[in-house]
Amino acid sequence: MTRNISSLVMDSLCDEPGEEDIVVAGFYCDFRGQQEQTTADIIGAILKQLVARPEVLEHVKTAFQKAKMELGGRGLRLPDMVRMLKRAIATLPQVFICIDALDECLPKHLLDLLESLKDILQGAPRTRIFVTGRPHIGAEIKRYFAAGVIVHISPTRHEIKRYLEKRLEMDTMRDAMSDGLRTDILRIIPARISEMYVGASTVPTQCIILY
Amino acid sequence: MNLSQVIADQNPEIMLWLSPLDPRRRHQDVRTNRLDGVGNWFLETGEFQVWRGGEGGADKAVLFCYGNPGVGKTFLR
């Protein structure tokens, strides 16, 4: 759900008419790539999305040439990367940063990332940051961004049903499916998920993993 | 092909130096698999509108959305 919402938010910001001055940079954290997703690489990945602007490209190019001469092209450390991103943001009218599934970062990377985002915001108050994740990281978010707004998102029963219909259409083992089973899936699963939200987090959720 | 991609293609060494990660490709994958209309309600919420509109200055710069495990990550991926 959060991936869906994150991608929707990014697209809606990019598509906004008359907002050519907006630059949107996004990142999806993924537990499968935890080791590779260091904070410096995530900040670098965000910066990568700003280089289409000539003013940003120029200073990144200059920094790259300098690093090549001085350090033999070695990768940047996190403070250097944050400094470069801050400089890039300062040359642009407004930047939106969207980061999905923060909880899928390693804990040490998460704290570095929140610290870096806080640092970036301090120098660029027009910047907007959209983040998603599981409930338990809400406390960390509040610790770094006391005035941040927190919203609970959950799919509607209709959305769950549509998703299931799509999955069933894409089923590669159709022989194993009968009309009765299909009807049961579309009736029981959306109801179970809705109950989960009513019953809050105490309901075990692993039972509804479909694949 | 958009401008960012053109610039990235022209500067592969710099792009790799900034980060080996490729968020644009990941975004393309996610949006390709997105179900039309799912989650649209979120864009209409007051919280999102205020955040996007930039009201409240730096104090209101951060919007955090959380979803429960089981549905968010394993189900409606």
Pick among A2, A74, A102 to test the B interface (most B CBs inside 10 A)? A2
Contact (Cβ atoms closer than 8 angstroms) between residue A68 and residue B11: no
Residue A151 located in a structural domain: no
Confidence (pTM): 0.82
**Res. A79 pLDDT band, cuts 50 70 90:** very high
pLDDT mean across residues, chain A? 83
Give the per-residue pLDDT at A75: 72
Q: What is the DSSP string of A34-89?
A: TTT--HHHHHHHHHHTTTTSHHHHHHHHHHHHHHHHHHSSPPPPHHHHHHHHHHHH
**Res. A195 pLDDT band, cuts 50 70 90:** low
Q: Is B10 on the interface with A (CB under 8 A)?
A: no
Q: Do A7 and B31 touch (CB under 8 A)?
A: yes
Residue A52 shares a structural domain with residue A130: yes
d(CA A108, CA A38): 9
Q: Do B66 and A134 touch (CB under 8 A)?
A: yes
Give the per-residue pLDDT at A41: 95
CATH number of residue A37's parent domain = 3.40.50.300
ipTM score of complex: 0.87
Residue spans per domain, chain B: 1-34, 39-77
Mean pLDDT across A84-98: 95
Task: Give contacts of B7 with chain A, Cβ < 8 Å.
Answer: 51-52, 57
The order of strands in the sheet holding B62-66 is: A22-28, A94-100, A128-133, B62-66, A149-152
Mean pLDDT across B11-24: 92
Residue A21 shares a structural domain with residue A123: yes
Handedness of CA A67, A70, A71, A77 (dihedral sign): negative
Q: Do A47 and B19 touch (CB under 8 A)?
A: yes
Residue A202 shares a structural domain with residue A131: no
Residue A125 shares a structural domain with residue A170: no
d(CA A131, CA B5): 24
**Partner-chain residue, chosen from A27, A36, A60, that has the shortest CB–CB distance to B23:** A27
Q: Which chain A residues in 168-187 lie under 8 Å from chain B, judged by CB atoms?
A: none
Q: Is B26 on the interface with A (CB under 8 A)?
A: yes
Give the per-residue pLDDT at B5: 77
Residue A166 shares a structural domain with residue A137: no
Give the per-residue pLDDT at A143: 94
Give the per-residue pLDDT at A139: 93
Q: Do B21 and A36 touch (CB under 8 A)?
A: yes
Is A115 a residue whose pLDDT tops 80?
yes
Backbone angles phi, psi at B44, to 5 degrees: -90, -10
Residue A150 located in a structural domain: no
Tokens 């400094």 correspond to A83
Instruction: Identify the domain containing residue A102 by its residue range.
Output: 2-144
Report the 3 state secondary structure along A92-111. Answer: CCEEEEEEECHHHCCHHHHH
Six token digits for residue A134: 């599981």
Give the per-residue pLDDT at A60: 94
Task: Give contacts of B4 with chain A, Cβ < 8 Å.
Answer: 49, 51-52
**Partner-chain residue, chosen from A76, A145, A208, that has the shortest CB–CB distance to B62:** A145
**Res. A205 pLDDT band, cuts 50 70 90:** very low
Six token digits for residue A17: 């008419």
Give the per-residue pLDDT at A209: 29
pLDDT mean across residues, chain B? 81
Is A124 a residue whose pLDDT tops 60?
yes
User: Long-range contacts made by residues A186-190, C-beta under 8 angstroms, separation at least 24?
Assistant: A186/A161, A189/A160, A189/A164, A190/A157, A190/A160, A190/A161, A190/A164
Closest Cα of chain A to B2: distance in Å? 9
Closest A-chain CA to B50: A149
Is A208 a residue whose pLDDT tops 70?
no
Give the per-residue pLDDT at A196: 57
Number of structural domains chain A divides into: 2
Single-letter amino acid code for the residue at B12: P
Question: Which has more pLDDT, A121 or A158?
Answer: A121
Is A200 a residue whose pLDDT tops 50?
no
Poorest-pLDDT segment among A6-15, A152-161, A200-209: A200-209
Residue A163 shares a structural domain with residue A61: no
Closest A-chain CA to B72: A1
Closest Cα of chain B to A28: distance in Å? 7
Give the per-residue pLDDT at A153: 84
